[in-house]
Structure 1
Amino acid sequence: MVKRVIYIHGFNSSEKSYKAVRFGEYMANYDVEYFVPRLNHEPLHAIIQLEQLLTSDTVLVGSSLGGFYATYLSQKYQLRAVVINPAVEPFLLLSSFLGPNYNPYQDTHYELNKSHISALKSLFITPLTYPSLLYLLQQTGDEVLGFEQAVNYYSQCKQHIEFGGDHSFQNIESTFANIVDFLKIT
């Protein structure tokens, strides 16, 4: 029985992201602990933060870079996870962000360097070991990440593909019942 739901936000986001807050409001209808940790910008620190919250009755929801982290944790610990417009290979995308960065949602300045990129590469799992534990929610209008890469990478997983939309996953609320069903939250 699911007792803990962890929502994992994306790159330069926070626990106050629209999707995290709206899903948290939806989770208030269930008898579960709902966590949205404010993640460290360093990938291995973020993974450690998340691992410290895991229990055997935990499920995950991750968006963008959070989807990448959710995939890693799902496969390592055999946990069910829903990934929303996930970053499949963030180490390629984030190479263009090397140097000083600012996260306006956390009001923090930090430096993204090559060690962060190497850390992300070390977390990449291919092929997926337990694809049945993952559910891909993807909109084809994602202007940040190419949707085809996610559809291909998660090809052995349950998928919900919507035409149009954007990286924020427009009308995310319409998927909440399906997320709860897949995660087996009662």
Structure 2
Amino acid sequence: MSRAILYIHGFNSSPLSMKAELSKAYLATHFPHVEFVCPQLMSSPNAAIAQLEEIIQSRPDTQWQFIGSSLGGYFSTYFAQKYQQQAVLVNPAVKPYLLLAEVIGWQTNPYTNERYEVTAEHMEQLKALEQEKITENLYQVMVQTGDEVLDYRLAADKYQNSELIVQQGGDHSFINFSDMLPAIANFLALEHQN
């Protein structure tokens, strides 16, 4: 069975984000046999989930694992629970339907320049994806206390019995993310091929 990492970017982000690019480069260098997949997500939650589901379902012979940042961490939790596969969450959103309710209206993605509307219906879609009960050993969760967008304590509480890494300071982008990549590879049990 082949292995692949599905990287799920955050709100208003893209495959060109720093963490996605660093993850891609690290895997290509150290684990070239593990495929890295990171699509540009559609703006509506249901469309994004359908898009990711299509990728997973199109490859039934692949073991998928997940890396999710911010809103992507919320989506990764949904897929980790559904497929009982491991996920690494980086400064994950825990209740994004509350936070993003503050930005309802027109938005522009700074990476793609796409203009799209965030709606109240999107908040309902997000709420429907919430996983109240989690399989704790499926998750490695990395938060920084200086996250200026999300309250790190929400993730630290929800995933308190998972492999939780709390770093002092930092910010929402997760400062020094590259230093965490060996720990991510270890958690996902990626193996070097001779």
Q: CA deviation at 1:51?
A: 1.3
1:5 aligns to 2:26 (yes or no): no
5+ residue gaps in structure 2?
none
Equivalenced residues, count? 185
Q: Report what 1:151 is aligned to.
A: 156
**Residue 129 (structure 2) aligns with:** 123
Instruction: Give the CA RMSD over aligned residues.
Output: 1.1
Asked if structure 2 preserves the Cα contact closer than 8 Å seen for 1:4 and 1:59, the reply is yes
- Residues 100 and 171 (structure 1 numbering): CA distance in 2 closer, same or farther, change over 3 Å? same
Match of 2:168 among 163, 166, 180: 163
- CA distance in 1 between counterparts of 2:129 and 2:112 reads 24
Identity of aligned residues (%): 41
In structure 2, the residue corresponding to 1:52 is in which secondary structure? Answer: helix
Partner secondary structure for residue 178 of structure 1? helix
Q: Which of residues 41, 44, 51 is equivalent to 1:42? A: 44
| Equivalent residue runs for 1:31-70 within 5 Å | 31-54=33-56, 55=60, 56-70=62-76
Displacement of 1:2 after TM fit? 6.0
Distance in 2 of aligned mates of 1:106 and 1:85: 22
Per-residue deviation at 1:49? 1.1
CA displacement at 1:5 relative to structure 2: 0.6
- What is the alpha-carbon distance in structure 2 between the residues aligned to residue 138 and residue 57 of structure 1? 26
CA contact (8 A) 1:2 1:185 kept: no
Q: Work out whether residues 2 and 184 of structure 1, in 8 Å CA contact, stay in contact via their aligned partners in 2.
A: no
Letter in 2 for 1:35: V
What is the one-letter code of the residue matched to 2:179?
S
Distance 2:155 2:161 in 1: 11
Give me the TM-score of the superposition, normalised by structure 1: 0.96
